[in-house]
Amino acid sequence: MRLNILTRLFIWALLCEIFVNCQNFYDSDPHIIEATERNFDKIVYSTNQTSLVEFYAPWCGYCKQLKPVMHRVGKKLDGIAQVVTVNCDLDQNKGLCSKHGVEGFPTLMVFRPPKVYRKGQKHANEKYQGERTMKPIVEFVKSRVKNSVKKLRAISTIQSMLSKHHETILNNYTVILFSKVDIIPPIFKSIGIDWLSQVDFFMMHNKNIGPIDETDKIQSKFASLYPKMSKSLNDILQKQIDNKDSNRLILLDKVNDEVHIYDGKKITKLAVTKFINEITNLVPQEGPLSKRQAYIDAVKTGKKTKKAKKNHRKHAKENIKDEL
C-alpha cells in the first residue's frame, strides 16, 4: 500500500513538472503577445508596426534566464513596437518555428514592415545577435521602427503644403511636434504609423524656428486661406522661440481653419490618439481605439473580439512610458 502511495506521488509530481514545463511563459503579461501558428501571420505580418519575436521552449534554461528580461523589454517597448513570443514546445507551433529557421532556444528575431505595406506582403526579418539584456534589445528594436514622420526645417513647408492642397479632401489634418531635441521619439513614430493615410505627422526642432515674416509670400498666401490658423500658429511659434526647452504638440485642422493644442503632460499613445479622435472623428488603423487593437487584446486575454473591443474602449489605460 505504501509503495502504491509513493508511486502515485511520483507520478503526480512528474505530471506537474511536465505541465509546468509546457506552459506558455507570457500568457499573463499585458505587454507581450503569445502567438501561435494559427494567428502569427495576422499578428506579425498584418501590421505596419515592428515586432520583436522570441521563439522559446519552457524547459530551456537559457529561456528561463531571459524570461525576466523579456518582461521588462515588453513593458519598455509598450506602444512603440510589438513584443511577440512563440512557445516552440507546443506541437501546434513546431511547424512555425521550423519555418523561421529556429534551431536553438531562445531565438530573438525582429520583423520589420516594408516602407509601403500592402496586404499579404511579408516583413523583412533579422536575428538579434546582441547582448541579452534589456537596454541593448530595446535600442535594437527602436532602431528598426518604421518612420512616417517628416522633419521640418522651416514652418513655411507646412504653410506651402496646406496652401497648395487647399481644395483636396484627403489628409485634412496635420500633427506637428515642436521638440527641444532633434531626434524623432520612437513613440511619436509609432503614433504616426497608427494614423497612416489619415493624418500627416511632422516634427520640428525648436532651434529651427525663426522670426515670423508677415511679408513673406508663402506666409501671406497661407494667412489669406487660413486666417485663424495662421494667427494661432504664429502665436505658438513665438512661444516656442521664447521657450526652446519645451515640447509642444498641435493639430492643424484644415477643414475648420483651427489649431488645436495638446494639453497632456506626456506624449502617450492613448492620450494622443484620443486627442486626434475627438477633433477629427477618425479612427486609427492600428493602436488604441482601432479594430486591430481589439483583436490583439482578444488574443492576449482569450476573450471574443467584440467584447475585447468594448472593454478596450472603456478600460484602456495610459501607456506610462514618456519618450520625450
Predicted local confidence at residue 214, as pLDDT? 78
Quick: pLDDT tens for 187-197.
Answer: 999 999 999 99
Would the pLDDT of 93 be above 70? Answer: yes
Superfamily of domain 23-142: Glutaredoxin (3.40.30.10)
pLDDT of residue 168: 62
pLDDT grade, residue 14 (50/70/90)?
A: very low
pLDDT surpasses 70 at 322: no
Average pLDDT value for residue range 170-198: 94
User: How confident is residue 169, by pLDDT bands cut at 50, 70 and 90?
Assistant: low
H helices within 100-226, ranges in order? 134-142, 156-164, 186-194, 217-225
Evaluate if residue 5 carries a pLDDT over 70. no
What CA–CA distance (Å, rounded) separates 93 from 265? 43
Strands (E), the chain: 33-35, 51-56, 82-87, 107-112, 124-127, 150-152, 173-179, 199-205, 248-253, 258-261
Partnered with residue 151 across adjacent β-strands are 203
Kindly tell me if the per-residue pLDDT of 308 is higher than 90: no
Least confident of 3-17, 53-67, 169-183, 204-218: 3-17
Can you give the pLDDT at residue 117?
65
Surface-to-core class of residue 167, CB atoms within 10 Å of its CB (0-12 exposed, 13-18 middle, 19+ buried): exposed
Instruction: Give the model's pLDDT for residue 321.
Output: 45
Length of the chain: 324
Res. 311 pLDDT band, cuts 50 70 90? very low
Report the mean per-residue pLDDT for the chain. 87
Share of the chain above pLDDT 70, in %: 84
In this prediction, residues 259-288 reach a mean pLDDT of: 96
Q: Per-residue pLDDT averaged across 273-292, rounded?
A: 97
150-315, CATH topology level: Glutaredoxin (3.40.30)
Domain with CATH 3.40.30.10 in the chain: 23-142, 150-315
- Residue 314's pLDDT is what? 47
8 A C-beta contact, residue 172 and residue 255: yes
Banded pLDDT at 307 (limits 50, 70, 90): very low
